[in-house]
Amino acid sequence: MGYRRTYWVYIMSCLSRTLYTGVINNLERRVAEHKERRPRSFSARYRINRLVYTGEFDDINQAIACESEIKQMARRTKVRLIESTNPEWRDLSTE
């Protein structure tokens, strides 16, 4: 029986709804890094600290393709994507 690796595409936001999209294999660790607001980082500059969207993948190539697609979307399309699963923009990392 093989080990199954999971990859995540995620969108982080702040109260003013500035968005950050990324891909990672350890979502919990990465969200914690965003919340730490490391000096001179995008997360610190824009106070990106709320996980508002996730997508789960078994294949890293699919995850990277999805991340790329999201990054190319118009902002209004990203907002619709987030609101399709999280209409209140809750911080999913607290659930």
* Residue 52 belongs to some domain of the structure: yes
Give the CATH number of the domain where residue 76 resides. 3.40.1440.10
Which residue segment(s) compose the domain that 34 sits in?
Answer: 7-87
For residue 7, pLDDT beyond 90: yes
Instruction: Domain count for the chain, please give it.
Output: 1
For residue 13, pLDDT beyond 80: yes
Query: Tens digit of pLDDT for each residue in 33-89?
Result: 888 877 788 888 888 999 999 999 999 999 999 999 999 999 999 999 999 999 999
Q: Is 32 exposed, middle or buried (0-12, 13-18, 19+ CB in 10 A)?
A: exposed
Q: Which residues of 40-71 are buried (b: 16+ CB within 10 A; e: fewer)?
A: eeebeebebbbbbbebebeeeeebeebbeebe
Give the pLDDT confidence score for residue 25 in this predicted structure: 96
* Residue 2 belongs to some domain of the structure: no
pLDDT confidence tier of residue 2, bands split at 50, 70 and 90: low
* Residue 94 belongs to some domain of the structure: no
Give the pLDDT confidence score for residue 46 in this predicted structure: 87
Q: Which neighbouring-strand residues pair with 7?
A: 57
